[in-house]
A and B are shown apart, each in its own frame.
Chain A
Amino acid sequence: MSEPLVRIASQAISLPDPNVDTDIIFPARFLLKIDRDGMADCLFHDRRFDADGVLQEAFPFNRPDRQTAQFLVAGPGFGCGSSREQAVWALTDWGIRVVIAPDFGDIFSGNAAKNGLLLIRMDAGRTAALAAKAERGAIFSVDVPARRFTVDNEEVCRLDLSDAMAEAFIEGWEEIDVILNREREHIASFEAGHRSRQPWLFANE
């Protein structure tokens, strides 16, 4: 189960840099962990701390008044680069549940959906306007059942979520369970046909 996401409201962190890649979000050397503990400690590690371990106060995630923020307003290309799902785990472990940006890395988007991290795509101009509001301390909120995204109680946009996706966020379902519970027979019957069409793919079994 990932943490259910139904209705949340908080201030937002603004990180407008373009192309924040997953190496920046979660530096490779921490990938040696074999569990999912302590992910938040690694989040943006080399931006939050300098090489001597000194806290970098200017970095947005270090702002004392944003430590309980659940929203992140990011720049274009957020999450590009490496496929590491740790980037998503670190964000959610830190407390971020929603990221707003003009676009996201494709693999990052797939990983986000599997971990209850909601991504909202919005053109560069509107994202910049939201970033300014985030700086000012506006209250961001989402209501997944109602598909609403508001800032200071003003609706920004409808959430573009299918019923199945909304249900997954609300219930905290993991995709693996959904597939195992609902799709096994479909997969088995596809596989039988596939085996007769392309037998060489099964030759070593």
Chain B
Amino acid sequence: MNAPRTLYEKLWDSHVVRPMSDDTALLYVDRHLLHEVSTPQSFVALDKRGCGVHRPAANLAVPDHSVPTRHRDRPIADPQARAQAARLVENVERYGIPFIPLDDIRQGIVHVMGPEQGFTLPGMTLACGDSHTTTHGAFGTLAFGVGASECGIVMAAQALVQRKARTMAVRIEGSLPPGVGAKDVALAFIARVGVNGAVGHAIEYMGPVVRGFSMEARMTLCNMAIEAGARVALVAPDDVTFDWLKGRPMAPQGDLWEQAVSCWRSLPSDENAAFDREVTLDAGEIAPHVTWGTSPEDTIAIDQPVPDPAAVMDEQRRGRLQRALAYMDLEPGKPIEGTPVDMVFIGSCTNGRLVDLEAAADVVRGRRVAPHVQALVVPGSGLVKRAAEEKGLDRIFIEAGFEWREAGCSMCVAMNEDRLKPGQRCASTSNRNFEGRQGRGGRTHLLSPAMAAAAAITGTLTDIRKLEAMS
């Protein structure tokens, strides 16, 4: 009998081309997602060597990070962003890489588009020049973010030298209270272990809550694993996964589909497989969360006060918290609830999918955005946008005073014109509240789509549970 293995170990073992040292191996990479920002220099490396792309069809490119979310009929206004988007087109044409152009309905954020097209499948390895590649782990895919050099290596050689991660089981037991969802679980987990808490680990999320989650919720959860330092996050594939993928354009068809599913059924961690670390969260105790500082670990439940750095013993940590409070212009000990916001952003690869927009629309329906607030909805892909419009969500948002935009990363990373002005405060469904992330001097509070919608309506950070009770 073979020793019991975890899902991560099975994925790793089935892709080892050759061990390189005790804990590193040359790993075969099945697929590579490309976007305009992380790859221009990767192609220069290929050009310089004249080495070509090993399997063009194993790649898929799309512009998403710096694209405008308005006036798609016009050329991109920012000359640098225009040049970068044009460079991606030249590069993929030269190397014969499949490409989804900006005016295609399938265009969207790599981590929304990839799964949607069935490009992401269980059991495979997938790399992308973006740290939130953890998202794809929701399918039982060994997916990880890489830098530009590694993007070049994957294209040229279809393999990368990787360090084998230790394994961490994150069990979410019990059941979630009303008004609490995957984003709150993701934030509560980061608050528990810290932003470096899972460095060097591959997380596997498990337990009844995760099994009951939709694919979209699983993606939200895996998406934010990198904010705890984990380069890999996983959920074991099951019927929810297979039902979601079946019939997607790039998913296998017919006999191949049957073969694939029977292979994928052998992937879940064996009973008794040992993890290096285990963390358990009690779902029943998770409240709606919101970040108060400049790191995703600076997270509290919405009904808690802003923490007081004076209570922190470690000097360096105290200094960081003081700096974060000053940057965020918040007072220790005061409730976070009721803090006025200037901007609301609903979108990103964390929460830019149809179920996220539905959750926000449920809160918004029949209400109005507070007069001092600018609120944006940026769907994660053109297909999400169309599906939302078919359900009439666009009208709910627009009638309430939201702006309904085209798909892209937008205000998650502020590389296009959607960005905060210095001092502006934003309730955002994205994944990073770093200093300047949404625009220099901008202040970000991360929260769920329902909580973001509630903040848009009241104009302040709001406990969704109270707003629901009011209606």
Contacts and interface: CB of A to CB of B under 8 A. Distances in A.
Contacts of A29: 414-415
Contacts of A106: 199-200, 229-231
Interface in B336-393: none
Most buried by B among A16, A88, A179: A179
Interface string A170-191: 0000111101100110110011
A185 to B, nearest CB: 10
Nearest to B413: A28
A63 to B, nearest CB: 19
Most buried by B among A23, A31, A183: A31
A84 B196 CA distance: 18
Interface string B134-169: 000000000011111110110011110101000000
Contacts of B149: 85, 111, 114-115, 174-176
Nearest to B257: A200
B435 interface: yes
A201 interface: yes
A24 B435 contact: yes
B218 interface: no
A196 to B, nearest CB: 12
A51 interface: yes
Interface in A44-82: 46, 51, 75-77, 80-82
Contacts of B256: 199-200, 203
Nearest to B43: A34
Interface string A20-48: 01011001110111111000000000100
B223 interface: no
Q: For this complex, into which size category does the number of interface residues on chain B fall?
A: 35 or more
Nearest to A109: B163
Contacts of B304: none
A2 B24 CA distance: 22
Interface in B187-214: 195-196, 199-200
B131 interface: yes
Given A32-B66, A179-B159, A187-B157, A205 B195 contact: no
B436 interface: yes
Given A77-B196, A191-B158, A201-B121, A107 B316 contact: no
Interface in B252-269: 252-253, 256-257, 259-260, 263
Nearest to B414: A28
A111 B147 contact: yes
Interface of A: 16-19, 21, 23-24, 27-29, 31-36, 46, 51, 75-77, 80-86, 88, 103-107, 110-111, 114-115, 162, 164, 174-177, 179-180, 183-184, 186-187, 190-191, 194, 197-201, 203-205
